Amino acid sequence: MSEPTTPRSRRSTWSTLLVSLAVCLGCSLVVSVATVVLRPIQLEHRRAARNARLADILGRQPALKELLGDLTTASLEERVVDLATGAFVTDVEPAGFDPLKAAAEPSTSRAVPPERDLARIKRQALHGVVTLVSRGGAPEALIVPIYGRGYGSIIRGSIALSGDGNTVIGLLISDHGETPGIGSEITEEDWTSLWPGKKVRDESGKLRLHVVVEETGAPDDDEAFHVDGISGATRSTEGVGHMVQFWLGDDGYGPFLARAREGALR
Ligand SMILES: Cc1cc2nc3c(=O)[nH]c(=O)nc-3n(C[C@H](O)[C@H](O)[C@H](O)COP(=O)(O)O)c2cc1C
C-alpha cells in the first residue's frame, strides 16, 4: 500500500521538476548561443577550406600559374551572382551555397526550357557563386562553375576566364563519374591543355566557344573558338562543351560576363 503524499515529498517533487526545467532551459540556451556564435566561424572555415582547394586546383593549371604567378599573393573572393541580372547579391551566403541543392528547391530555382537545356539539367538555381582572382584592383581572372550531364554522370567543374570574361585561362574538372579510361580523359592534361587561350565571344558578342565532335564536324572552323573532342569519349567531351556553352550563355553567367566585359565588376 502506498504512503500518503506528505507536503515535504510534494515540495521535493516540485523542486526536482523545477531543477530539471532549469537544466533543460540552461542547456538549450547554451546550444542556441553556441550555434549563433559558432556559425560565422564555421562558415569562415568552410570558405577557407574551399579557397585552399581552389588555390590547389588553380595552382596545378599551367596557364593560370603563368598568368597569375604566385597564387598565394592573389586574393580569391567568392561572390554570389543573380544569374538573371548578372549583379552581385549579398543576401545569399557563398560558403554554404550548393547549385545542385538550390536547383532542386522550387523557391530557389527555375526550370530550364528543354530547347535551351544544353547542360541537360532540367532546373537551375537562380544564383551562382563565382570566384574573383585579384590583386587589389579589377579581377585578373573569373572562375565560373559549370556542371551538366556527360555520358553517364553529372560532370562538375569550373572554367577560369580572363578578367574581361572573354579568354579561357583553364578548364578545371573537379568531379565526374564518367568511365575510367574513356570519359575520364576529360580530366587529362592532353585535353584540358587545349582550352587555354580559346576565345568565348566574337566582336559582335556572339558566343562561339564550343567543342567539335567528329559526327557534327565544325560548325565554326575558326580555331580560336573551338576545342576538339576526343574520339571514343565523344559523349563526355561533347557534354563538357555543351555545359560550357550553357553556363557562359544567357541562361547561365552571360549577364554577369557582360558586366565583366564592360569593366563593371569593381
Ligand atoms: C562500357 C562503356 C562505357 C563508356 N563510357 C563512355 C564515357 O565515359 N564517355 C563517352 O563519351 N563514351 C563512353 N562510351 C561510349 C562509347 O565509347 C561511344 O562509342 C563514344 O562515346 C562515341 O564516340 P565515337 O563516335 O568517337 O565512337 C562508353 C561505352 C561503353 C560500352
- Structural domain including 196 reads 51-261
Residue 86 lies inside a defined structural domain of this protein: yes
The reply to whether ligand 1 has any atom less than 6 angstroms from the CB of 241 is no
Residue 12 lies inside a defined structural domain of this protein: no
Residue 22 lies inside a defined structural domain of this protein: no
Question: Total structural domains in the chain?
Answer: 1
Q: What are the pLDDT tens digits along the chain (266 aa)?
A: 455 556 677 778 888 888 889 998 988 888 888 888 888 787 777 767 766 766 665 665 555 666 556 666 677 788 999 999 999 999 998 878 889 999 999 999 999 999 999 999 999 999 999 989 888 788 989 999 999 999 999 999 999 999 999 999 999 898 999 999 999 999 999 999 999 999 999 999 999 999 998 766 666 678 999 999 999 999 999 999 999 999 999 999 999 999 999 888 86
Distance 143 CA to ligand 1 centre (A): 29
Distance 234 CA to ligand 1 centre (A): 7
Q: What is the pTM of this model?
A: 0.79
Residue 8 lies inside a defined structural domain of this protein: no
Find how far residue 208's CA is from the centre of its chain: 23
Residue 3 lies inside a defined structural domain of this protein: no
Which residue has the CA at smallest separation from atom 9 of ligand 1? Answer: 183
The reply to whether ligand 1 has any atom less than 6 angstroms from the CB of 232 is yes
Burial 27-66 (b: 16+ CB within 10 A, else e): eeeeeeeeeeeeeeeeeeeebeebbeebbebbeebebbee
By most ligand atoms within 8 Å of CB, the mutation choice from 120, 149, 151, 238 for ligand 1 is 151
